[in-house]
Structure 1
């Protein structure tokens, strides 16, 4: 946060979030709650509630000071019909301005959850949601394949008729607080983009500690150029 370590965070009787607020919100802490329930054999329900900024008085309102994300899904093992196969379906929603931070230095915002321009949180980024379904299967020769299909919606910042950039919370590198926060933080506000996408992943581990991974991703947009990339990796564990 453009400063040294904060000793207040080492106090076990002073929770980190209140400590951050008491220190004028110069840092950007984040926390999440996870839950997993297995109601019957072979079925798993899971959920995550992530909070970037929390103001208890603003919960349920469109406040800039309450940034959050949720993910909920259901997974099932299909061994009875397809040995070594599992499937899942999940929904993810990331509220506007999540992962951002409002302090600016030399023309850029620091303490946001990004590195070299790439977000460190969920790939869809802030002011977005996604529905995904997928399957994973174990193959011979210590190999595993995974296929995922998805539908993504996102709202991006836009330039109005006066040439002014309107920040709707769709850019992780722009944490500018809106002038009228209650009216400005509206989910999926801004230039709206949506479309189908998918990933294919193949992982082969011919021997313990040595793994090869091939990953491909494609995303189609209704109002933006389509995106696609392929990545290969080799990992060695000593």
Structure 2
């Protein structure tokens, strides 16, 4: 029996479903579909519409591309119902209230071959339900529980567990995590075997053939990722509860808004300070963002955003979809952390695209040394991406990202009307661009840059390949972490310093050379509800101190040692 859920299914297609998002982007680069909006996740009804359009013009694709497309078409559009042990779901058909219950599981082992004791592992189980209520409303929820273990890494030399490539680790759980040996205590990281959970839910509505979409829910989102990541709201950021909407009054313009509540958490450098009450007491934050996308021609894309993090309160200006968040802050008082930015993309179907994004956290445009002033906090990203000639469904990208010191962080807000300070026990409220201890935007720390060269290939039979090289350089001086800071004259911070920043030359920097090769094979098309992934990363790191030595020679001392890591991972998913 073939069961097709009604086309009005408006649940989000999870950002974890990387194959469908990669395919749609590659179809856009090749000119098979129109330019895609940069507000994700997409609704299932929107994705189904794109796949139906592609099916009508599939002859434009090569034979190999059609095979890849057909696999996705079968999974999302035809969506054939199978036995529970084949697809992991059970469906309840109804004209008004259809829904399904789904299960899945996954396991991952990440080995640091250079130090096996520093390896990591996780095992997770997931159960969820989703369905429709009438023609315009959909709902969904999912609970995931798992066991986790990572190494007790040195936060001075590694931003996150060492079994993962630098700046690639993201927590799979939310809130605190409970050690098996002390289940009543919440901890920041599973340095002992620990139990964690996550919960995602949504109520979504869509009207006028996806021209107006609204969602209330807790899930991962990605806005403005014209390159491999977003400087504003990245897909690797932790999920949060929010109300959002997108309106598309014309084919060439999209208007989107979101306001939500952020989770507490310590960044990976400060996990020893984690406390379910202590950490949360200074991180009572909300997040709001507006974005306008313009596509005046088939070769030009423009976007602009304003938004940021504000102290938790009923501030109606941040909830109003048509109100500028930046202007609203100036109307209600300077207690919040607002930002501006945007992107520009120039593209040619079949050839590729060139792009530039800017996140402007704070700026002193009248300062005589704009680029040397620590108070100028911004990040930018630029690159080129396109299909590889002769290789179906394969793309290559060259990208540069730079995050200036103190960007995404913020000074402590003392004595706000809503959260008055209480001395040493409460130094003030934190309003950094963070959620659950991880960045909302770029995962790179402040005072860091990255050069990336990568490729991705979608092959028939559910096979995906990816790989590349990254050069990451991170300063360890002032303004080089996500930690909040004091703006008093006694604490230099970004405002009260006479020093001038000079990237790579103003102090000690840690350099990472990272090479990665990986792949995944989804066996569902062969009747086996299993997906297997393998990856290998080579990491070589060292330190330089141009300010003291006058060159970029590796220091290699007791405190700044060279380091080599060989990282391998194996992942298995059941009912992927």
**Could you tell me which residue of structure 2 aligns to residue 97 of structure 1?**
406
Q: 1:200 aligns with which of 507, 511, 517?
A: 517
Q: Deviations over 1:72-98 (max 9, x none)?
A: 111121142x23321111111111111
**Counterpart check, 1:144 vs 2:454:** no
**Could you tell me which residue of structure 2 aligns to residue 183 of structure 1?**
499
- Contact 1:109-1:174 at 8 Å conserved across structures: no
Unpaired runs of 5+ in structure 1?
A: 158-167
**Could you tell me which residue of structure 2 aligns to residue 153 of structure 1?**
473
Instruction: Measure the CA separation in 1 of the matches of 2:412 and 2:564.
Output: 33
- Contact 1:145-1:201 at 8 Å conserved across structures: yes
- Contact 1:26-1:103 at 8 Å conserved across structures: no
Instruction: Measure the CA separation in 2 of the matches of 1:210 and 1:129.
Output: 37
Structure 1 residues 15 and 175 mapped into 2: Cα distance closer, same or farther (>3 Å)? same
Q: Which has the larger radius of gyration?
A: 2
Structure 1 residues 66 and 116 mapped into 2: Cα distance closer, same or farther (>3 Å)? same
**Counterpart check, 1:118 vs 2:438:** yes
The TM-score with structure 2 as length reference comes to: 0.35
Structure 1 residues 6 and 35 mapped into 2: Cα distance closer, same or farther (>3 Å)? same
Q: Deviations over 1:153-193 (max 9, x none)?
A: 11113xxxxxxxxxx21010133434534635544444211
> Between Structure 1 and Structure 2, how many residues are aligned?
226
Q: Deviations over 1:105-134 (max 9, x none)?
A: 735862213345433332321101111101
Structure 1 residues 110 and 235 mapped into 2: Cα distance closer, same or farther (>3 Å)? farther
- Contact 2:515-2:538 at 8 Å conserved across structures: yes
Cα displacement (A) at 1:34: 1.7
Unpaired runs of 5+ in structure 2?
A: 1-284, 286-310, 414-420, 487-492, 544-560
**Could you tell me which residue of structure 2 aligns to residue 6 of structure 1?**
315
Instruction: Measure the CA separation in 1 of the matches of 2:473 and 2:437.
Output: 21
Q: Deviations over 1:201-229 (max 9, x none)?
A: 43444449986655655532103545657
Instruction: Measure the CA separation in 1 of the matches of 2:509 and 2:326.
Output: 33
Q: Which moved more, 1:53-62 or 1:145-154?
A: 53-62
> Over the residues paired in the alignment, what is the CA RMSD in angstroms?
3.4
**Could you tell me which residue of structure 2 aligns to residue 161 of structure 1?**
none
**Could you tell me which residue of structure 1 aligns to residue 289 of structure 2?**
none
Q: 1:44 aligns with which of 331, 353, 376?
A: 353
Instruction: Measure the CA separation in 2 of the matches of 1:218 and 1:115.
Output: 29
Structure 1 residues 11 and 138 mapped into 2: Cα distance closer, same or farther (>3 Å)? closer
**Could you tell me which residue of structure 2 aligns to residue 170 of structure 1?**
480
Structure 1 residues 143 and 96 mapped into 2: Cα distance closer, same or farther (>3 Å)? same
Instruction: Measure the CA separation in 2 of the matches of 1:213 and 1:203.
Output: 4
Q: Deviations over 1:24-52 (max 9, x none)?
A: 43222334312221146322111211122
Structure having the larger proportion of residues in helix: 2
Structure 1 residues 234 and 181 mapped into 2: Cα distance closer, same or farther (>3 Å)? farther
The TM-score with structure 1 as length reference comes to: 0.75
Aligned runs of 1:10-49 on 2, under 5 Å?
10=319, 15-39=324-348, 41-49=350-358
Structure 1 residues 25 and 145 mapped into 2: Cα distance closer, same or farther (>3 Å)? farther
- Contact 2:530-2:572 at 8 Å conserved across structures: no
SS in 1 for 2:335: coil
Instruction: Measure the CA separation in 1 of the matches of 2:438 and 2:530.
Output: 28
**Counterpart check, 1:60 vs 2:376:** no
Instruction: Measure the CA separation in 2 of the matches of 1:235 and 1:28.
Output: 42
Structure having the larger proportion of residues in strand: 1
Instruction: Measure the CA separation in 1 of the matches of 2:442 and 2:568.
Output: 18
